[in-house]
Amino acid sequence: MRVRALLFPAFAIAAAVAVIGQTSTETTRKLWDTAFLNTTKNKTSPRRRSYRIATPRVPVDNVAADSVVGVTIWRLRPASARDSGERMIVHEDSASRQWTPERISPETKLAQGDKLRISVEGARKGYLYVIDREQYADGSSGEPFLIFPTTRTLNGDNRVELGKLTEIPAQDDAPPYFTVRKSRPDHVAEVLSVLVSPTPLEGIAITDKAQKLSDTQVAAWEKEWSSGVGFLEMDKSVGQTWTKEERDAGSNTRALTAEGPAPQLLFYRAASKPTDPLFVKLQLWYRVVPKGSHH
């Protein structure tokens, strides 16, 4: 996927907030609560959302509740009459098509031409930056590009906060998705780096297109802010469709409430301070196509 040519305006980072096991009288939205961890010592009731620990070597103790970042990955498919979720109406040439966004896992293999969106939500106020780079079969990486923020999406507004979904691309972008395509035969994955900082990053000017960053700068951010990062994934979330609450939160119509949809992924950094930036990496792998196949 050539970010500078194909990715914008297109990306949906929409992070939902998790409020686990709350009663109808509780209105405070939470992203982090150890009560929702799906462990043998902590059985969740059927009414509670539960998460599995995807990085068991990273402890979940001493996690600052307001330092967590939620991420949900969406793949668009043609809408059908049986869909119960929200649809996206996309104007293509002289016609309009309806698409249904549904959640996928980081383990879901991508196909050429897949249409993706990502949504992100922070547990506290901060500033969001998203970097994309290609990964190749030998383990090497392509050049890093800052694909968000740009002035073409949300007019460059990269602020995040609890209950607000930052979607990349935004719902009013044209198109409101990005199409994944390999740039060469050994291109095996897209590596997305999501960085949330309590203050704007120095030296980053928001422009109208994706910016090439230096390997040295990105490596410095990663070294300083990514050690000890782990993540949780919501159980039984793959295939769930986009809801009206998420649509409204992404369009800034209404914030997500305590009982609103939870994020698919929760990223955390053990023992970090609420004022520390958080740098997380998410690998999205392409499906291996057998030799001789035309798909």
pLDDT per position in the chain (295 positions), as tens?
A: 544 433 434 333 333 333 333 333 235 888 887 657 655 455 544 445 789 999 999 988 888 888 899 999 999 999 998 888 899 988 776 678 999 999 999 999 999 999 999 999 999 899 999 999 999 999 999 999 999 999 999 999 999 999 999 999 999 998 899 999 999 999 999 999 999 999 999 989 999 999 999 999 999 999 999 989 999 999 999 999 999 999 999 998 999 998 899 999 999 988 788 789 999 999 999 998 776 665 5
- Give the C-alpha separation, 118 to 26, whole Å: 28
Compute the Cα dihedral for 235, 241, 242, 246 and give only its sign.
negative
**Closest to 171 in 3D by CA, of 264, 79, 84, 242:** 242
Classify strands 126-136 and 145-148 as parallel, antiparallel or unpaired: antiparallel
Give 65: exposed, middle or buried? Use CB within 10 Å, 0-12, 13-18, 19+.
middle
Question: What pTM was computed for the model?
Answer: 0.85
> How many other CB atoms are found less than 10 A from the CB of residue 180?
20
Cα-based distances in Å from 96 to 32, 117, 167, 237, 252: 39, 19, 21, 29, 24
Query: Burial code of 118-147, b = ≥16 C-beta within 10 A, e = fewer?
Result: bbbbbbbebbbbbbbbbbeeeeeebebbbb
* SS3 assignment, position 217: helix
- Give the C-alpha separation, 50 to 268, whole Å: 16
Dihedral pair phi/psi, residue 167, rounded to 5°: -105, 135
